[in-house]
Amino acid sequence: MSLNLTVLLREAAAAHPSRPALIIGDRSVNYGTLHALAQRMGGLLQALGVQPGQHVALLLPNVPQFTISYFGVQYAEAAVVPLNVLLTADEVRYHLEDSEAVAIVAWEGFYEAARGGADGAPACKHLILVKADGSDLSAPEGSVSFNAKMAAATPISAMPATKPDDTAVILYTSGTTGRAKGAELTHFNLFFNAHYVRTQLIPIGAETVALCTLPLFHSFGQTVIQNAVLGAGGTVVLLPRFTPEDAVALMKKHKVTLFAGVPTMYFALLHHPGLDPNDLSSLTHCVSGGSAMPVEVMRAFDARMKVSILEGYGLSETSPVASFNRLDREKKPGSIGLPIWGCEFQLTDAEGQVITTPDTPGEICIKGHNVMKGYLGRPEATAEVLKAGWFSTGDVGQRDADGFYFIVDRKKDMIIRGGFNVYPREVEEVLYAHPAVAEAAVIGVPDERMGEEVKAVVAFKPGHSASLDELSAHCRAHLAAYKAPRSFEVRASLPKGPTGKILKRELRA
């Protein structure tokens, strides 16, 4: 038995090759062209020596070349390693080294980060540079031009012979300790998750027009928009960088029917003066995820736009959709809904015992077709979170008498800023590298617009000091912008427990 994610694009292109698949700006790419380019990309990678089972990184924004490369890597029977476009060269290098990626496809605007990262990753032999202007076929020394190589590549026409359990995508995620880990998601994980979204969660079909402003390097944008909509033969309108002005203009121009976003996007849209329900009457379905949706924002948006935002829950390790409010059941604002078909939830207490009573908090554990194979090259970390098929999420939730789940808290200290995960340990390590810092702790603080903001609390070494501007500049030099603390607090010392562990709960209080 074989299965490959390219079947989503392959079948849609066979059914209606002339239908628009992707729209960006004034350009449209139909299914026949998109599929042909993905096949050609697969041939390009093969010509460069990429072998089945190897890994190829993508450092691309929401542009057609992301989708072309994503399915092209699958045609080459390799695995995609999507990278956050905000990563620094140091961060890119770590991801390339850890994944042993043999090539990276990068947008011209991220060339320096890609070049710096690839230079420090011995396994990465090829940097394929994508230029916005397709007529320019040149590339800096040490890299090759996406446009030139694509023109000369021989397409792969045969369906790839990967198996359902072969790794298709490696998504990097992390806890509050250690470095980022690559969650290995299989062809079946991702295929079935997208299939569920388009057939059970939302009625997505060839008439669907979806705005894709969620980053495609994240599992939410990949599964719920790109894979689900293309698998149904719909149209994806790409928006590389979200602004409420651009989002409203594109939804109006293209008569968008489906919008998926994180709560901060809904907040921005709701407060945008140009949001006119009469202009966006085509919008029929909205979904939210990434972080908890404030109930008041959901109710206000629903009322103004005459829609019903469906909120769900998932993680990179679950492909990502694990639970959702449903169209056939009255939604409960503030709830992450019900487990999806074929996916089980259970709550466990501190001793690992299953909680059966309603409204009793416990750690959410998930079992099902959407759960990852494990963390790439980390058997100990995999064994820590995967026990007898149950994935321990680290999130604390509770279930009501109707079976709906609610997130209570995060067992981990992870911060969710505007839908992006920020892991305090990574930021703390950068702060500790500053010569004046003796102690550092990073916490999330409530923020109306971003959900949470990143705050650093530091204590200086005796006889040392630094201005807050200096600390901020130090962090921004070594971290992606969204991870850098937005506020700092200086203390003589940080509160600690008997073992010397810094007590973040006291800092939050």
CATH number of domain containing 106: 3.40.50.980
Give the model confidence (pLDDT) of 277-335 as tens digits.
Answer: 999 999 999 999 987 888 888 999 999 999 999 999 999 999 999 999 999 999 999 99
Domain with 92, as residue range(s), is 6-17+31-163
User: What's the domain count of the chain?
Assistant: 2
In angstroms, the CA 172 to CA 166 distance is 17
Residue 288 within a domain: no
Neighbours of 471 (CB within 10 A): 22
Residue 408 within a domain: no
Rg (CA), the chain: 23
pLDDT at 125: 97
- The CATH number of residue 504's host domain is 3.30.300.30
pLDDT at 233: 98
pLDDT at 136: 59
Query: DSSP code of 295?
Result: H
- Residue labelled with tokens 């719920």: 224
pLDDT at 281: 96
| Triad 434, 475, 317: Cα angle to 5° | 115
- Pair 168, 190: CB distance under 8 Å: yes
Is the torsion defined by CA of 485, 490, 491, 492 positive or negative?
positive
- Residues 6 or more apart whose CB falls under 8 angstroms from that of 499 comprise none
Residue 139 within a domain: yes
Residue 102 within a domain: yes
Q: Work out whether strand 437-447 and strand 126-130 pair parallel, antiparallel, or are unpaired.
A: unpaired
Among 163, 183, 201, where does a domain finish? 163
Residue 55 within a domain: yes
Residue 297 within a domain: no
- Residues 6 or more apart whose CB falls under 8 angstroms from that of 26 comprise none
Residue 294 within a domain: no
Is the torsion defined by CA of 5, 6, 7, 13 positive or negative?
positive
In angstroms, the CA 385 to CA 430 distance is 27
pLDDT at 140: 85
pLDDT at 134: 66
Q: Helices then strands (H, E): number in the chain? A: 16, 28
Among 107, 138, 163, where does a domain finish? 163
Q: What would the DSSP string read from start to end of 343-355?
A: EEEEEE-TTSPEE
Query: Which segments of the chain have a pLDDT < 70?
Result: 134-138, 174-178, 497-501
- Pair 91, 480: CB distance under 8 Å: yes
Residue 350 within a domain: no
Among 140, 163, 186, where does a domain finish? 163
- The one-letter code for the residue type at 294 is P
